[in-house]
Structure 1
Amino acid sequence: MKGTVSKRMVIEESSDNMKDYLNSTFDATYANIELRPLGILVRIIKGTINFTWVIPFYQLVIYKGDYSSLYAQGRFVRFRKDGAFEQSKPFLHKLMRQKAKYESKYDFLNFK
């Protein structure tokens, strides 16, 4: 995939089971998303320690509203809509196209 990676984005909120991987309430926690052939890698940066959350496309759910969020495996992260997020929009569109392409292989509604 030629190293397709998003810009570094700020995590605004997360599920309780992700709190151990985030900085304290006073420090911003950053993450970036790497696109892979069968899913994504969410790299969470906590000071000098990195945590990688592996999400296959079949488990990935993306919500876009007032915030953009990634849900999978009973966990979620919600990203702050700021300048870095705006710069990552082309990447996020590419991610959604790749997920749709993956899911089209398993389209059970169109029997031929």
Structure 2
Amino acid sequence: MLLNISYNRSETKEKINKEVGTPFTLLERIKLNGSGSPKLQITSTSIEIHNLLILDINTNICNIELRPKGIIVMFRSLLETYALIIPYYKLNLYKGKSEEYSVYKDHYFIKIKADNPAIHKFMLKILDYKADNALPQIEDIR
């Protein structure tokens, strides 16, 4: 699900929380050693995301937020902030060339340049957390 999250709307927050869970508490974030990625440079995207990114001339960057039942990939275009909401059971994460990761959900994808050891460490954290929490619950299937 690709959403515009620029504005503080309760229905948007409810959709996100239903898909990937509420944000981690402060204590949980400390135990995880952080729940957000460093700044990630986008190298390639699916057509829907690409059409948003080409609207301005800024560098295409994103970040990833870890949630209890999934991840949120956030990026900006013009003055708007967009989020790709990905539950763990729909997340496919591939390491392509040694300097690139691909994040897939259904027909959406974002390829990220991984030229920093912190990025590799964060992607391993996502994979570890996904392995422990990937099974869909009955309420997720409905």
TM-score norm. by structure 2 comes to 0.64
Any idea what SS the aligned residue of 1:17 has?
helix
Q: What 5-or-longer segments of structure 1 have no aligned partner?
A: 107-112
| Equivalence for 1:63 | 94
Any idea what SS the aligned residue of 2:131 has?
helix
Contact 1:10–1:29 (CA<8 Å) still a contact in 2? yes
Contact 1:42–1:53 (CA<8 Å) still a contact in 2? yes
CA deviations on 1:17-54 (whole Å, 9 max, x unpaired) are: 21122145854211000000000010012243210111
Structure with bigger strand share is: 1
Contact 1:11–1:77 (CA<8 Å) still a contact in 2? yes
Any idea what SS the aligned residue of 2:43 has?
strand
Considering only aligned residues, what root-mean-square deviation do their CA atoms show, in Å? Answer: 2.0
Contact 2:101–2:111 (CA<8 Å) still a contact in 1? yes
With over 3 angstroms needed to count, the CA separation of the structure-2 counterparts of 1:17 and 1:35, relative to structure 1, is same
| Equivalence for 1:109 | none
Q: What 5-or-longer segments of structure 2 have no aligned partner?
A: 1-23, 137-142
Identity of aligned residues (%): 28
Structure with bigger helix share is: 2
Any idea what SS the aligned residue of 2:71 has?
strand
| 1:69 partner letter | S
In structure 2, distance between residues paired with 1:97 and 1:54: 19
